[in-house]
């Protein structure tokens, strides 16, 4: 009895897969797209169905450049790291100064330990 039910369940699953999923899989594999850059037809990689540029290295290079430009437009401050670094260093210097002032005993101990090691 249980076996029959199981087989029916499997049958239904297979039918569902056959009716709904298989044709869509076929369509996805066979869909041809037009490259955004060279305007030629290509079949996208089945693992990257949303690919918009063909595999021609020239097109890929152009796509990278476009992506980089977009990214730079979205993150305009990213390549100003020199200014950022100096700001960060300023903050860090202030922080270290404060830390040294509040932890004077630590340096005393350190010096004592060093001199103890030497002798
Ligand atoms: Zn192309």
Work out the mean pLDDT of the chain and round it to a whole number. 82
Between the CA of 51 and the centroid of ligand 1 the distance, in Å, is 11
Query: Does residue 27 or residue 88 have the better pLDDT?
Result: 88
The residues near 37 (Cβ < 8 Å, ≥ 6 apart) are 53, 54, 58, 59, 62, 63
Between the CA of 66 and the centroid of ligand 1 the distance, in Å, is 14
Alpha carbon distance 15, 60 (integer Å): 41
Q: If you average pLDDT over residues 40-44, what whole number do you get?
A: 89
pLDDT of residue 112: 86
| Domain ranges, ordered by start, for the chain | 82-119
Between the CA of 29 and the centroid of ligand 1 the distance, in Å, is 18
Q: Enumerate the β-bridge partners of residue 33.
A: 42
pLDDT band at 46 (very low <50, low <70, confident <90, very high): confident
Q: What is the pLDDT of residues 54-101, one digit of tens each?
A: 989 999 999 999 999 999 888 887 776 666 667 788 888 888 889 888
Nearest to 48 by CA among 24, 31, 62: 31
pLDDT at residue 28 tops 60: no
Q: Structure pTM? A: 0.42
Using the 8-state DSSP alphabet, how is residue 39 labeled? Answer: -
Using the 8-state DSSP alphabet, how is residue 46 labeled? Answer: T
């Amino acid at each position: 009895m249980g076996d029959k039910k199981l087989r029916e369940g499997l049958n239904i699953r297979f039918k569902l897969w056959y009716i709904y999923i298989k044709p869509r899989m076929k369509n996805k594999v066979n869909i041809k797209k037009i490259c955004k850059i060279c305007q030629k037809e290509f079949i996208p990689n089945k693992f990257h169905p949303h690919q918009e540029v063909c595999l021609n290295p020239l097109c890929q290079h152009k796509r990278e450049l476009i992506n980089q430009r977009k990214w730079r437009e979205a993150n305009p401050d990213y390549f100003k790291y020199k200014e950022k670094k100096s700001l960060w260093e300023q903050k860090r210097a202030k922080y270290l100064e404060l830390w040294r002032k509040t932890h004077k005993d630590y340096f005393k101990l350190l010096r004592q330990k060093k001199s103890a090691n030497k002798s």
